[in-house]
Amino acid sequence: MNEQELINRIQLLKQVSPKEDWVISTRAKLAFRMEMERKKNLLNHDLFAFKELFSFLSISQPRLSFNAVYGVIIAFGLVLGGGAVTTLAAIQSSPGSSLYPVKLSIEKARLIASLSEESKIQVQTEIADKRLQELSVVVASQESAEQKAEKVTQVVDNIQEQLASASNQLPKVEPQKAVAAAKAVSEKANQFSKALATAKESLPSNIKPELDTKIAEVAETAQQANMKALETMIANQNSAEVKKEDIIARLNETIAKTQEQVDAREKKISEEISFADKLPIRAVLINQTEQSRELLEKAKQAILANDLTGALQFVKAVKAIEAGAEKMVKNADKAISDEAAKIQNQNATSSEAVNSAK
């Protein structure tokens, strides 16, 4: 037995690891202890300030000053003593609650404590289900649009994080488990896309434009997660767990969706950017649309020829073109509004000139 063989045998013992529940609960205890110490320090530090704050009372009513300071101490004591209850309450909390960020931290700890990529994805799927449930509760609630928007923002931020992280973990999952993980990620990505569309509809369009942007970003992340899942399935297409028909169905669905995006952009170019006929950007965008259509056609042909990897590459190329085109359309929108404002100003100046000439 050479040295390397010996080391390999020793390293088998690496499989000894603590239980996940214990890792999580110890982390929570540690975090709680830290928070308590921080609060105690704050209390000590602020005690002098509190005394100063209530010092005016000591001039006329010394007993009241004493009571006020102790009242504050008791309040802090209650906050500090309520740690365990707080943790339980945090787990039950919903978006908008001050304990909601604590709940997200506890979930994060659980995720960190997951020992394999597969179990990480499993935990993420559970978290994703919770977010979907929270989102549907917020959307169905009778709260004001602003309150809703605030809560949706909180949930959407976390959804984006979960999706991006789950799809990034896909390539690290063991090949035999990768397909199941990819399917789970893809399913959640689709559910999120639908839930976000519903959430968007439930809010007035003028409320929180940044939320609109955020939802669009998450939809994009969901699409990317779907693409990674599809990529994982195609990479493992020879595995017994993958049905070729399933991949083909998913590819066709992706092609159809991408086709819809290309059509929508083309419509936008012809309707809204017609004003910008003179802008060279219009020619570029039209050219890109043609390219996208051509590539989508090639993707369909590749599927017919049973070249699923090739088909995926064509779809990815179209996605890249569309992402670039989308940015150009946004820039064009800005250029058009600037141009329109300029023309309006010119017209106003000309009318004033004509009026004054009259």
Partner 1 sequence: MEKFNEQQFLEWYDQYVGKIYRYIYFRVGAAEAAQDLTSEVFLKSWQYLNSKGVNNPRAFFYQVARNLITDFYRQKDKLPISLEEIADKTFADNFADKKQEPGHSAAIALEMASIKKALQKLGGDYQEIIIWRYLDELEIKEIAEILGKREGAVRTLLSRALAELRKVLE
Q: Does 240 bind partner 1 (CB under 8 A)?
A: no
Q: Whose Cβ is closer to partner 1: residue 22's or residue 70's?
A: 22
Q: Does 327 bind partner 1 (CB under 8 A)?
A: no
Instruction: Report how far residue 223's alpha carbon sits from residue 237's, in angstroms, rounded to the nearest whole number.
Output: 21
Q: Taking CB under 8 A as the criterion, which residues in 107-136 touch partner 1?
A: 109, 112-113, 115
For the record, the structure tokens of 50 come out as 């509190």
For the record, the structure tokens of 347 come out as 């017209």
CA atoms within 13 A on the CB side of 202: 24
Nearest approach in angstroms of CB 220 to partner 1 is 29
Q: Does 12 bind partner 1 (CB under 8 A)?
A: yes
Torsion of CA 123, 126, 130, 132, to 10 degrees: 120
Q: Does 35 bind partner 1 (CB under 8 A)?
A: yes
Strands (E) across 164-305 are located at none
Nearest approach in angstroms of CB 19 to partner 1 is 8
Q: Does 34 bind partner 1 (CB under 8 A)?
A: yes
Q: Does 10 bind partner 1 (CB under 8 A)?
A: yes
CB atoms within 10 A of CB 112: 13
Nearest approach in angstroms of CB 164 to partner 1 is 19
Q: Which stretch binds partner 1 (CB under 8 A): 4-12, 146-154, 288-296, 327-335?
A: 4-12
Q: Does 64 bind partner 1 (CB under 8 A)?
A: no
Nearest approach in angstroms of CB 90 to partner 1 is 16
Q: Does 3 bind partner 1 (CB under 8 A)?
A: yes
Nearest approach in angstroms of CB 7 to partner 1 is 5
Q: Does 271 bind partner 1 (CB under 8 A)?
A: no
Q: Does 298 bind partner 1 (CB under 8 A)?
A: no
Q: Does 1 bind partner 1 (CB under 8 A)?
A: yes
Residues 6+ apart with CB under 8 A from 165: 124
Nearest approach in angstroms of CB 191 to partner 1 is 27
Question: Looking at residue 358, what DSSP letter applies?
Answer: -
| Three state DSSP letters for 101-170 | HHHHHHHHHHHHHCCCHHHHHHHHHHHHHHHHHHHHHHHHCCCCHHHHHHHHHHHHHHHHHHHHHHHHHH
Q: Which of 22, 260, 324, 340 binds partner 1 (CB under 8 A)?
A: 22
First to last CA, the chain: 107
Question: Looking at residue 1, what DSSP letter applies?
Answer: -
**Angle at alpha carbon of residue 191, lines to 190 and 192, rounded to 5°:** 90
Instruction: Report how far residue 92's alpha carbon sits from residue 266's, in angstroms, rounded to the nearest whole number.
Output: 47
Nearest approach in angstroms of CB 4 to partner 1 is 11
What residues make contact with partner 1 under the rule CB under 8 A? 1, 3, 6-7, 9-19, 22-23, 26-27, 29-31, 33-35, 37-38, 109, 112-113, 115
